[in-house]
Structure 1
């Protein structure tokens, strides 16, 4: 360790402050080491047709989409967007990525003009260098649509996608869908992957090749994803009135680190430039030992809950589901477990969903009751449901989430007070996820699930037959509500419909709803053009990383 690394915290701060006064002129070069929001989870698949939710996070560096978040609207640029929600890009914060322009030719026809001159680089054994064209978009859509792993109903609103010339794609709709831009524009499953990659083997990371700012150069499962600059990348960033070619850094490395203490050590010793997910319990110590770090606090990108299978006893009885909610002292969890760093009520609508979220104070009494601790009331409801002596049930939980493991033990303690006992089964992430997607999950399923966006949060969690519907909720009234929500073109009217559907779902208590914690992102001051933004699309940070640069002089000055 050099002497500079052991200088006092104030000296570190002084060095950072001195360089902060210098003009923010971008620098090229260097490698960015990142502990992402999903630092504990390795890549699940490199093939988009597998419909795995993490694809954009890992492959979104090289595979681009029609649209992306407009990062010029970020808070650090004077805008109002934090870009911290996992899949929420409001219409006013969306830009064209592969799309240069788009327009509605008629109410059910969307015409998209692609940017000209975007190129796939040559990849030995896979493809020659060539231009991206409209047929690539059509091919990618059709492959996703025909995948047997497709989420049910996902593209049911689309009649056809056609290339009318080399750079024009026309989407013909059967019916309007309010998620038209998310479903096949900037969502989890809308990446444009060339036919050559698919024919070479899309699931093989060595074959991956796209038009994005970075190319995948190495992957070691459970260890790291390594990306290098795409020399043919097309996009630029305007800073101080001057346009700069992207990306700035030569490469990015995602580190997969399952152990929390190891994550913190890697950040403190600058083996990580950025760590995007830090629990509040570690913040004070890090600020003491690495005072130069910069910080951003954000509400977790996912909600915590215990899904109760309503298609199985005893959870087919609403009294049982309501009782379990009342038996857990959620206010105490916020105060004691999270030290006040959590929101008592924030699901299925995140407070980030402006215009869609309603606070608990606005909810009807039957919803407020679920967030009010009442052990005696819970016992009474259980007795009415025929469970005066209580019952036991199995709960599955992922071992990859420290909070989930700890919280489930806490919930178990509360439920024991009303004679309800849990048999906890801890699982690795892959079999845990498979249990839900195959609908073989236990009667209790404790998970941390992304908020996504206002419409998807309701659809994926509660629409009949949906993949992420761990409670197996099936309500014809709610299904009809969702159909009306998606058909509504007027946003204020859609917001009103979503608020009512949210109230109805909460009152039905399919989940034991838990508070949502705040997390922190931290980064060293040599990381520039960044302020804790997490996603520029659905779980996709690639465009954000492409715009960061490393102040090499500052990094050296600080002893690293």
Structure 2
């Protein structure tokens, strides 16, 4: 709050010093060691899983936790990570670069016709025994078919998500056939390495998939205990199939005996846990906190990454006064976004990230190359904001309520500043705090207020526009409804030529930005920190769709180093 008071008073003190450049750890060259516990605070450590059943489509954070045991057809090749000499940071939750995709449960795949995809499964992959649920047994093609059909018939399914698929069938024990009715560019994301692609055995569904004590999959870890609001404890899967080759030797995974996801809502408590060694990895840290941690924990290693979750105040376009594009554009011009970058984030943010992240090469258009009508929304112009409001019939402004989740302390601190900017042009934004579950439910049921703070990320370049602004989509908080826009997104998804697909999505992105169904805000840089005893790790966060199990399965703890460092 001190920072906000300083900004509101107009004090132009020095910006926070930028934390020193990232220190990516190279892949370990020493001999791996088995055993120990890996304690992690994830990028979403402040909230807990709402459901363990993948068929509860609208329950977020599933893949963060269920992804430890429910594997998917595809993953990414972590050998292509920057920390291992590759070109990808693997810090974006839902994107898999086409040249970095690796089969997970899929050993190989082939288009046998333009609309028939045949996938060969890895042989010897097993579900571990689960007392009262199922015996140890081998994964088969029928498990994939069962999982797909269950997701496709769920009453909570996202509208149109699998409409491109006619059927999924088992050709034999190890071969799955996907028969399409039309090509879809993100077919691999939809049911291969997306948020709704986990392979769940029928035995778990029969036992009750919503009960965490019943869950069981082929992944590197098994769910051992849930301490609600405190921690999730995963244990090593004794029959896990994958290996890691280091210095020419193949090692069975995972290396650690236990993986613990800590639930820590307070950021200061997160940082204290890292400093005292109670956390081995703290996945998401603000630049301001990172600056202090570098002083108090100088031996900690770091990675810097640009968030995909830029805060934005969604404005319901079906509710007055936000039915008028002039009002929506005015609110954007009323906020001094450059000052937010310079003073609130200490320079550690980028003006223009959403809805196409800069790392999406070919899909992202830099702000300087956007049409003038888009660029205008990112420039501070309170005089024009007032003029537009007057033209729209609100010369004295208006008031509206904006719902915000209490789960994000940074946004709770940022929004009063945004409210102060708006008040300067006569608009009163009343901030309505909500607990995580209620806040999420308001959006997913489309009962959210006229203003709603969202940070639903762009996920990946072929999905971002659809999930955030497609008619009827769960995360469409502004309730955007434009048949022509939807049709162009459909055109892009049906285009096999990637260059043409990129062009359509670049044009559609410029259109939605210009229409301003939200107050577009800058995206901050975040930091990941880990102790040097965490080996074979370089700050990677995701292998797709919020999943991180393959990353943590490859980490080992140097217990001797940890003891020598006094922990």
In the superposition, the TM-score normalised over structure 2's length comes to 0.94
Q: Deviations over 1:115-146 (max 9, x none)?
A: 11111111111011110000000000000011
Q: Report the CA distance between 1:451 and its aligned residue.
A: 2.1
Matches within 5 A, 1:97-496: 97-496=104-503
- Contiguous gaps of at least 5 residues in structure 2: 1-25
Task: Specify the SS of the correspondent of 1:156.
Answer: coil
Greater percentage in helix: 1
- In 1, Cα distance between the equivalents of 2:98 and 2:290? 34
Q: Which of 48, 51, 57 is the equivalent residue of 1:45?
A: 51
Measure how far apart 1:53 and its partner are.
Answer: 2.9
CA contact (8 A) 2:92 2:544 kept: no
Distance in 2 between residues matched to 1:341 and 1:362, nearest whole Å: 22
Match of 1:79 in 2: 86
Q: Distance in 1 between matches of 2:27 and 2:376?
A: 53
User: Is it true that 1:30 corresponds to 2:30 in the alignment?
Assistant: no
Q: Distance in 2 between matches of 1:60 and 1:433?
A: 21
Q: Is the 8 A contact 1:303 1:451 kept in 2?
A: no
Per-residue deviation at 1:22?
A: 9.1
Q: Say yes or no: does 1:531 pair with 2:538.
A: yes
Q: Deviations for 1:522-558, whole angstroms, at most 9, x for unmatched residues? A: 0000001111100011000111000111111111111
How far did 1:280 drift?
A: 1.0
Q: Deviations over 1:196-227 (max 9, x none)?
A: 00000000000011110000000112110000
Q: State the shift of 1:422 in Å.
A: 1.2
**Are 2:286 and 2:526, in contact at CA under 8 Å, matched by a contact in 1?**
yes
Separation in structure 1 between the aligned mates of residue 366 and residue 27 of structure 2, nearest angstrom: 41
Would you say the 8 A contact 2:356–2:458 is kept in 1?
yes
- SS of the equivalent of 2:69 reads coil
Give secondary structure in 2 for the equivalent of 1:185. Answer: coil
Cα distance, 1:21 vs. partner? 13
Residue range with higher mean Cα deviation, 237-246 or 194-203: 237-246
Structure 2: distance between partners of 1:444 and 1:213:
42
Question: CA separation in 2, counterparts of 1:22 and 1:294?
Answer: 14
1:288 to partner: Cα distance: 1.1
Question: 3-state DSSP class of the match of 2:380?
Answer: coil
What stretches of structure 1 move > 6 A for 4+ residues in a row?
A: none
Instruction: Out of 362-371 and 548-557, give the one that drifted further.
Output: 548-557
- Using the alignment, how far apart are the partners of 1:391 and 1:253 within structure 2? 48
Tell me the distance in 2 between the aligned counterparts of 1:543 and 1:451: 23
CA distance in structure 2 between the aligned counterparts of 1:274 and 1:262, rounded to whole angstroms: 14
SS state at 1:302 partner: coil
Query: Which SS does the other structure have where 1:431 is aligned?
Result: helix
1:284 is displaced (CA, Å) by 2.1
Provide Cα deviations, 1:486-506, integer angstroms capped at 9, x if missing partner: 100111111111111101111
CA contact (8 A) 1:307 1:512 kept: yes
Query: Normalized against structure 1, the TM-score is what?
Result: 0.96
Contact kept, 8 Å, 1:404 with 1:447, in 2: the verdict is no
CA distance in 1: counterparts of 2:89 and 2:28, whole angstroms: 25
Rounded to whole Å, the distance in 2 between the matches of 1:354 and 1:376 is 36
Which residue does the alignment assign to 1:501?
A: 508
Q: Shift of the alpha carbon at 1:30?
A: 0.5
**In 2, distance between residues paired with 1:123 and 1:38?**
28
- Report the CA distance shift for 1:313/1:78 in structure 2 as closer, same or farther (over 3 A): same
Deviations 1:311-341 (A, max 9, x none): 1110000000000000000000000000000
Please state whether the residue corresponding to 2:332 is helix, strand or coil.
Answer: helix
Structure 1: distance between partners of 2:222 and 2:523: 35
Instruction: Report if aligned partners of 1:322, 1:370 keep a CA contact under 8 Å in 2.
Output: yes
- Counterpart CA distance in 2 for 1:535 and 1:44 is 20
Question: Could you say what secondary structure the match of 1:277 adopts?
Answer: strand
Asked whether the 8 Å contact 1:85–1:451 carries over to 2, the reply is: no
Tell me the C-alpha RMSD between the 2 structures. Answer: 1.4
Separation of aligned partners in 2, 1:410 and 1:286: 26
SS in 2 for 1:265: helix
Aligned-pair CA distance for 1:283: 1.5
Cα contact 2:27–2:536 (8 A) shared by 1: no
CA contact (8 A) 1:86 1:451 kept: no
SS at match of 1:204: coil
Specify the alignment match of 2:67 in structure 1: 60
Shift of the 196–421 alpha-carbon distance from structure 1 to 2, 3 Å rule, reads: same
Quote the Cα distance in structure 1 between the aligned partners of 2:293 and 2:510: 40
CA deviations 1:444-469 (Å, max 9, x no partner) are: 00122222001111110111111000
Residues 84 and 301, structure 1, Cα contact 8 Å, conserved in 2: no
